[in-house]
Structure 1
Amino acid sequence: METSHTHRPNRREARRQDRHDAILAIASRSFLEKGYAGTSMSAVAAEVGGSKATLWNYFPSKEDLFSAVIDRAASDFRARLAALLEPEGDLGTTLRRFAASFLEKVTSSQAIALHRLVVGEVLRFPEVGRIFFERAPRQMQALLAAFLESAMDRGLLLRDDPLLAARTLVGLCTTGCHQQLLLRIIDEATPEMIEADADRAVMLFQRAYRVDQG
């Protein structure tokens, strides 16, 4: 008879995970404060308290380290959005919840700093833009596209390219306070601003993709 059990990490595995998390926390702060060019593997290793060779055992290159930082920042957010996108829920309500949650995330101080970092470094380091897009916007858009395709299948939205529809909604969300934050026109996005931007984005999106009942 087969039995199953949950694997519990031993002390060595736990220490390795702790060191992995510490490296990512330090690297994340360094990237945001010093930029991609200003962050060195040697400096991260020194702050963690180990050799550069030890750091390489976890992340073979600065590109790998940056990728892991983006993955950590994006994964929890994708899980939260996936929970919000209820296929059988009211479409308008679900879209508003998505839009508000998305805007809360991308207007946070850390997200704005990361966005500025990517835009500022991408000319010198094209890999920065590629890594960011592949691990954050692209995966989030794919998640939203799958939900919108389901809504199209149910006849709730006009049939169109689901990924294009997802990009349309995301674009509508980011034309207000998010854009103003990036350009330093405002210092913070208030809950009222986020709610207003989310409501308007969803209203315009539904107007564009509304099914003709006539």
Structure 2
Amino acid sequence: MNVQNTAIRKGRKFDQVLAGARDVFLAEGFSASNMDHVAKASGVSKATLYSYFPDKESLFIVVVQTECARQSDEAMEHIDQSAPPAVVLSNAARHLLGFITSEFGQRMFRICVAQADRFPELGLAFYQSGPMVVREKIGAYLQSATEAGQLEITDFDLAADQFGELCKADVFPKILFGVQTVFEQSELDRIIDGAVSTFLAKYGA
């Protein structure tokens, strides 16, 4: 299955199917879920479900892509990019950490890692819909801020990746190894403040 070339036919109950599939994957994981469960949760017939998605893998990929796109679009809509870099980056970090620590973000990451050997397309879809989108959107902001004289950056992709990694400090390793899955806002604020101040110490104009 090719992630890029998977043809999906949309119809009247398409969003209904995606919502049901999202609930099933979150509740049961990838391996334990099946198309029967999704059809039941979505309130559609199996024929309708299969008319949209040929298999569970393609359905999962679209669920991940749709949710990541929604999160990204919402984040950018609520961030005033004309504000000072410290404010913009703090808001971006807050949205990024919000997704990473969310139930959906944690579950999808674990599913993709667990299935990486058998279905590498799942990991690729998550990477393209998540980290790559973050790099592109943060990188675009960093470039505009540099052109405005607010930052001093030459490699925007690298700087965007560095910012993303700073935002995950302490939190992501705990999630990765199952040490901690729920975080207080004060814990996240500590990471955000440290990420932004460290980043600006390097790239601030």
TM-score when scaled to structure 1?
Answer: 0.81
Contact 1:181 1:189 in 2 (8 A): no
Corresponding residue of 1:20:
14
C-alpha offsets along residues 8-44 of structure 1, whole Å, 9 cap, x if unaligned? xxxxxxxx54x32332122112223333333322432
Task: Mark the runs of 5 or more structure 2 residues left unpaired by the alignment.
Answer: 1-10
Cα distance in 2 between the residues matched to 1:182 and 1:136: 16
Shift of 1:180: 1.4
Corresponding residue of 1:8:
none
Corresponding residue of 1:160:
154
Corresponding residue of 2:30:
36
Moved over 4 A (4+): none
Contact 1:74 1:136 in 2 (8 A): yes
Cα distance in 2 between the residues matched to 1:163 and 1:30: 35
Corresponding residue of 2:3:
none
C-alpha offsets along residues 43-77 of structure 1, whole Å, 9 cap, x if unaligned? 32344454433212122332331122112311221
Task: Mark the runs of 5 or more structure 1 residues left unpaired by the alignment.
Answer: 1-15
**1:184 corresponds to which of 150, 157, 178:** 178
Structure 1 residue 56 corresponds to structure 2 residue 50? yes
Paired amino acid for 2:15: D
Percent identity, please: 29
Paired amino acid for 2:112: V
Cα RMSD (Å): 2.0
Corresponding residue of 2:94:
100
Shift of 1:84: 4.1
Paired amino acid for 1:188: V
Shift of 1:107: 0.8
TM-score when scaled to structure 2?
Answer: 0.85
Paired amino acid for 2:136: A
**2:166 corresponds to which of 154, 169, 172:** 172
Counterpart of 1:157 in 2: which secondary structure?
coil
**1:133 corresponds to which of 127, 131, 135:** 127
